[in-house]
Structure 1
Amino acid sequence: MEIVNPNVATLSNFEVMKHLQKLKDGRKRDKPHGQLATITYETLRYLENTPCNGQTSDSITTCLKALEPFNLNKPEKLMLINSPPTTALEIQLMIEESEERLTEEQVQQLLKIIVEHFPHVQKASDENDDDDDDE
Structure 2
Amino acid sequence: MKIIKSCVGALTNFEVLDLLRSRGAGKDPTRVIASVSPSEFKVFDYLEQTAACNQTRDAITKLVDECKKYDLAKAEILNIANIRPSSAVEVFTIIEECDARVEDRIDELVETFMQVLPPHPSSQAESMGEIAEDNS
Question: TM-score band (shorter)?
Answer: 0.7 to 0.9
- Name 2:133's counterpart in structure 1: none
Cα contact 1:115–1:122 (8 A) shared by 2: no
1:77-116 counterparts in 2 under 5 A?
77-104=77-104, 106-116=105-115
Runs of at least 5 residues in structure 1 that lack an aligned partner in the other structure: none
Cα contact 2:20–2:40 (8 A) shared by 1: yes
- Name 1:14's counterpart in structure 2: 14
Shift in Å at residue 7 of structure 1? 5.2
Classify 1:126/1:109 alpha carbon distance in 2 versus 1 (closer, same or farther; 3 Å).
farther
Which amino acid letter does the alignment assign opposite residue 112 of structure 1? E
Q: Paired residues, what number?
A: 120
- Name 1:72's counterpart in structure 2: 72
1:17-96 counterparts in 2 under 5 A?
17-24=17-24, 37-96=37-96
CA distance in 1, matches of 2:80, 2:18: 19
- Name 2:134's counterpart in structure 1: none
Name the SS of the counterpart of 1:110 in structure 2: helix
Cα contact 1:86–1:125 (8 A) shared by 2: no
Cα contact 1:59–1:118 (8 A) shared by 2: yes
Question: What TM-score do the two structures reach when normalised by structure 1?
Answer: 0.76
Question: What TM-score do the two structures reach when normalised by structure 2?
Answer: 0.76
Over the matched positions of the two proteins, sequence identity in percent amounts to 26
Shift in Å at residue 126 of structure 1? 8.9
Which amino acid letter does the alignment assign opposite residue 18 of structure 1? D
CA distance in 2, matches of 1:45, 1:126: 17
Superposition misfits of 4+ residues, deviation over 4 angstroms = 30-33
- Note the aligned Cα RMSD (angstroms): 2.9
CA distance in 2, matches of 1:24, 1:6: 21
- Name 2:126's counterpart in structure 1: 127
Name the SS of the counterpart of 1:102 in structure 2: helix
Which amino acid letter does the alignment assign opposite residue 77 of structure 2? K
Shift in Å at residue 24 of structure 1? 2.7
Runs of at least 5 residues in structure 2 that lack an aligned partner in the other structure: 131-136
